[in-house]
Structure 1
């Protein structure tokens, strides 16, 4: 079967977008509603910086149309501060913070590693073993939250659904022939990161989906993608989809308001608009 594609931006609340991508006078509270009618997915970035609340996730779910999908970025407390060690309780808190309120709009969980964390297979496997692979397991894990989430936790799922996890690596030591096999053995996806040569570019598809983050072709977070570059990415995505892989692609080149327009351009090339 041919895979499906979800394409969008990494986050959606950026002041420079107002009056450039978002129409002048559009209330900030309606920005997600607006962009979700232009693209069919978005990464939630706020979850990386702090634990969100169930009511936030419910609002995001309700403001977007049927079929829209959110990727959820794992907390930096887990990836950057604890560096994947001793994270059982932080993971429980993360999954209790409301992510299950997204319901059928819940897409992959993105675990972005810091550029100072080198490839450590044993550490990764221990972390992967803790990750819930379906919403039922996520609800059980959420129930193990600590007192920080008392009175604000969501520990139930509306249905039993599989969950996807993807890893974004940024240390040069991950350019290792054993990485792809390790991820495949654990059912974890690998981000193909277009990052102006700042971080490793790895294109192995290690799960039943591919995941792309486009941070800027020549200047990190800033440069847009030319017509030729978007053509090339569209061809890559077509190849993965033809092979039966679902594809998620998010533009993170937001500084000069390129991300939403590049996402729309990629969707147009794939016949999605």
Structure 2
């Protein structure tokens, strides 16, 4: 059995476990809870792990407080994270103290302060801030290749060699562009298009419509990996839920492209796996 298959079995199992506790939280006797806060362009996700880093609870809410990877509604973002935190605390009958967060690659000088303040403003002690694809690799455990996190507003790329990050990049193309194309093609409002694309039964019909945007994302990936020896691409992020996206990217890049069963929750889980009890300033 290949190492890649083993990684995906572990990843898929972790995501499945998380999906279960989103619906049915586990009240644990754990000594500490670790929370991952993923402030996405389309969705805010909180994932909670126990002292053994096993999923025990989770919650998410579709929102419009982040745009192209940047916090644009600071107060709204705090309110959503605070609401989700309170919701999970009531279900677990405990206080959630420690949290980690993530940002698009290369944006730490621009927006990490805002993300930190949102998490702390919601009542968490912040223990870590890392870039999104690197967080995703906490779940994937990829040694070599490119982890590509296609979110609502941005596409983040992390290249790994021998388990070490050697390159990170971010580009403002993602699921928002899918929605804009759907809105124009189907004469829908943007919000209607957002809802329409989330339904998997629409994906077969939408794939030809969205192919130009997917090919643009593939071109972005090509541009960033051209100077590196990349033999595998691993897709994560909510936008990658589009059925068939991996096949278009593989054809355009000429590189084997893979994605887990539910790429939406990989990064939030990786963020939680990066949480500790050591508070940062």
Range class of TM-score, shorter chain: 0.3 to 0.5
TM-score normalized with structure 2 length: 0.32
Higher helix share: 2
TM-score normalized with structure 1 length: 0.32
Higher strand share: 2
